[in-house]
Structure 1
Amino acid sequence: MTTTQKPDTLHRILDYSSRADPYPLYAELRKTPVARQEDGSYVISTYRELMDILHNPHLSSDVRNLSHPMPTAQAETTPAFINLDPPEHDRLRRMAMRHFGPPHAPGLVSGLEPDLTATVGSLIDGFAGKEQIDIVDDFAYPFPVTVISHLLGVPPDDAPRFHLWVDDIINSLDYDPKTDPKEILENGLQARKDIRQYLGGLLEQRHGRPGDDLLTRMANDDGPDGRMTDEDIVATAHLLLIAGHETTVNLITNGMLTLLRHPQVLQRLRDEPDLVVPLVEELLRYEPPVHIIPWRAAYSDITVADTVIPKGSQIMLMLASGSRDPNRFPDPDRFDPDRRDNQHLGFGTGIHLCFGGPLARREVQIALTELVRRLDRPRLVADPPPYRRSPILRGPIHLPVEQGDG
């Protein structure tokens, strides 16, 4: 059975006017778990169906399997592994993971903790004497950017350059040729080229030279799967540079916004620092940094919830909707850091489970613990705050907060 859903709900979710609170619209969307849109694409919005399809071997992450190519596909001459399928995805992910985490680099995240704590402390020190701060500009952006730049071996002075590139890329992720100016697409495509050219230049300096950064390790490593090509290294570094800070910025900012809206929980975290571990998991469910996977493709016909999705169809996965599904999470619209059985979709699931999830979790745990401990009577200046354009990677573009007597 195929159900065609009126486009109004999805269009309203994607419209900027809904950015501050898309959750009532997600509830409306869930009335039709698998819904065919007028353009022939499919939207999946309920937890069970999202889990089913994310673990379905006939679901493709390769844009080349779409019947109608995405506008941004022309820039992906060498896709990152997140946009590939097995076995190529698995091979490249293994090669990158050798340098990023277990089993070959098991101490990476724990070894970074002193630096993470010091960076957070230094940023908060900069709040001294300020009655108003912007959690995004003054903290949530510079913190993870400093971390991922250090890991990759990107000069920190170049951060402003790739900040502009990343903004253009993120803004183009949900480009709609029917409604959006072509400039958004063109800027995104150019930013992809610029950032890859920049990373390629850094990589040229790494061959045959010792070093601990990820670019150097990938450039000189001959593991069981061989050595990455320069094109694959640049594509992987591009992915890590964007994913390594963009989702963390949103999660820190969404987290602080949620705590300021729930002062009792904020005080409890101040009194019980160990609460931060389950609290961050609940944030990943309640206010995740990634709301939508804008496209996947069907290798062949796929049946989900009695709906047949034809081969080559575009499939949009509404992860944030699934994490608020009342059939999976009791009282899903309540923020509850004591929630049990919290298998959210905040970092996805299946073979594309977020590569940098362990690092992002620890960054956010340290960031929120120290912000709550050290800010003096913080309170929101505006609620809701202004949000970024993107409905895919959703978070405030600014979060002004007053502290002290005001």
Structure 2
Amino acid sequence: MSTAFPDPATLVADPHAAYARLREAGPVHKITGPDGLPIWIVTRYADVRQLLADPRLSLDKTHRLPGQYKGFTLPAALDANLLNMDPPDHTRIRRLVTQAFTPARIQRMRPDIQLLADQLLDSVADRGHADLIAEFAAPLPITVICDLLGVPHDSRRDFRDWTDALVAPDPENPDGTKHAVAAMLSYFPQLIADKRRTPGDDLLSDLINVRDDSDKLTEDELTSLAFLILSAGYENTVQLIGTAVLALLDHPEQLAALRDSPAKIEDAVEEFARFDGPALLAIRRFPVEDVQIGDVTIPAGETVMLSLASANRDPARFRDPDRFDVDRRDSGHVALGHGIHYCVGAPLARLEAQIAVSTLLRRFPYLQLAAPREELRWRPSMRARGLLALPVSF
């Protein structure tokens, strides 16, 4: 018997309460998804963590049975990416990308990210108020990831719009997603052609050289990889920064503790990710054989969603899990994944969040929410957790 998925308004307004009810009722539920198709939702930390690294759950859509949840379908030129692959292709491509996100390379980016954070805050400092999403949390990661890939400055606003249309489609603009996909399909091949003619000191030029010299990437893989790095590198980080700042504003004693002890920022970012991370659900998976969870069997080929948000609030793993605490010591969250599909850009996302939040608190120590809490609007998405705007005064 299927269970109705929490209605979209409830899920967007308070996903943690909705997932708490599911988690308490059982470790796995067969849900009727928004499209009327069945989804298995896994809710408890131990199961989610184990299944994130379980090779019996495939990301390859060829393992999906007919009539299963599809999610949003991209054309092949954007779909041949790490979110749809298992080893050995996943291993081959991830090895290439990991070279761009080594700790040493990420730390070399610190001065530029710090300069950018200060410049963005300089632009609003005299005004005394700002929308931290539009004017800080969004432009920071899109600039960083575009610099990393070598995307020209005049295209960056377009990329923000295209990614927003894919992650959280506007119900009042039903053709927005289709237009965003068409724009990306047109833009990426042209960008790659430009980089072939005039290589730069950037990641996309490096990936093109790998594809052309060693033939380790197909053309679709190259285009899809650029698309994934850009969209995920922007979207996850803007959401993480936004929800982090809101959590601090909701807990002024924690804001004061972090402001007065900035060395706590690394641990605080882990708590930001655990408490209200950027993804409610991991990317859909398809069992290649029947999988047993407790007394429930998930048949091969059906669609499985692992609830990262639920796992990160599981009282069996985290003490007082609904309490936000920048000094928390029981870490081990799964907000950025686990196993071979762990977020390859996690070191960069962590660094950006550390710099963004610490700089904001240093520059604007009397930061306050400038709108009623209940009027804040969230992305209308069952997978992504992010604010549409965050008005503040300082």
TM-score by length of 2: 0.92
Aligned to 2:165: 168
1:88–1:136 CA distance, 2 compared to 1 (3 A): same
Aligned counterpart in structure 1 of residue 390 of structure 2, from 393, 399, 403: 399
Q: CA offset at residue 359 of structure 1?
A: 0.3
Aligned counterpart in structure 1 of residue 128 of structure 2, from 122, 126, 131: 131
CA–CA separation in structure 2 for the residues paired with 1:376 and 1:250: 22
Q: CA offset at residue 277 of structure 1?
A: 0.6
Partner deviation per Cα, 1:328-357 (whole Å, 9 max, x = no partner): 111000011222231001101111101100
Aligned to 2:256: 267
User: Is structure 2 residue 227 aligned with structure 1 residue 238?
Assistant: yes
Aligned to 2:30: 36
Matches within 5 A, 1:1-400: 4=1, 6-7=3-4, 10-12=5-7, 15-30=8-23, 31-38=25-32, 39-67=37-65, 68=67, 70=70, 72-73=72-73, 75-77=75-77, 78-98=79-99, 100-102=100-102, 106-171=103-168, 184=174, 187-207=176-196, 209-221=198-210, 226-293=215-282, 295-381=284-370, 382-384=372-374, 385-400=376-391
Check the 8 A contact 1:44/1:317 in 2, yes or no: yes
Q: Name the SS of the counterpart of 2:200 in structure 1.
A: coil
Check the 8 A contact 1:298/1:313 in 2, yes or no: yes
CA–CA separation in structure 2 for the residues paired with 1:72 and 1:362: 30
Q: Which runs of 5+ in 2 are unaligned?
A: none
CA–CA separation in structure 2 for the residues paired with 1:222 and 1:392: 32
Check the 8 A contact 1:135/1:400 in 2, yes or no: yes
1:320–1:268 CA distance, 2 compared to 1 (3 A): same
1:52–1:392 CA distance, 2 compared to 1 (3 A): same
Check the 8 A contact 1:5/1:32 in 2, yes or no: no
- What is the number of residues matched between the two proteins? 384
CA–CA separation in structure 2 for the residues paired with 1:223 and 1:343: 40
More deviation in 190-199 or 340-349?
190-199
Question: Counterpart of 1:66 in structure 2: which amino acid?
Answer: R
More deviation in 314-323 or 216-225?
216-225
CA–CA separation in structure 2 for the residues paired with 1:281 and 1:71: 29
Question: Counterpart of 1:386 in structure 2: which amino acid?
Answer: R
Q: CA offset at residue 73 of structure 1?
A: 2.7
Q: CA offset at residue 21 of structure 1?
A: 2.0
CA–CA separation in structure 2 for the residues paired with 1:225 and 1:56: 31
Partner deviation per Cα, 1:199-242 (whole Å, 9 max, x = no partner): 11111122264421111111113799753233211100100111
Q: CA offset at residue 41 of structure 1?
A: 2.4
For the aligned residue pairs, the C-alpha RMSD in angstroms reads: 2.1
TM-score by length of 1: 0.89
Question: Counterpart of 1:314 in structure 2: which amino acid?
Answer: T
Check the 8 A contact 2:128/2:393 in 1, yes or no: yes
1:326–1:5 CA distance, 2 compared to 1 (3 A): farther
CA–CA separation in structure 1 for the residues paired with 2:154 and 2:212: 32
Check the 8 A contact 2:61/2:84 in 1, yes or no: yes
Q: Name the SS of the counterpart of 1:11 in structure 2.
A: coil
Q: Name the SS of the counterpart of 1:313 in structure 2.
A: coil
Partner deviation per Cα, 1:80-138 (whole Å, 9 max, x = no partner): 1221111111111112223x133xxx521111001000000001111222132111011
In proportion to residue count, which structure has more helix?
A: 2
Q: CA offset at residue 65 of structure 1?
A: 1.6
1:115–1:61 CA distance, 2 compared to 1 (3 A): same
Q: Which runs of 5+ in 1 are unaligned?
A: none
Question: Counterpart of 2:127 in structure 1: which amino acid?
Answer: K
Check the 8 A contact 2:211/2:222 in 1, yes or no: no
CA–CA separation in structure 1 for the residues paired with 2:62 and 2:88: 16
Check the 8 A contact 1:95/1:225 in 2, yes or no: no
Check the 8 A contact 2:258/2:326 in 1, yes or no: no
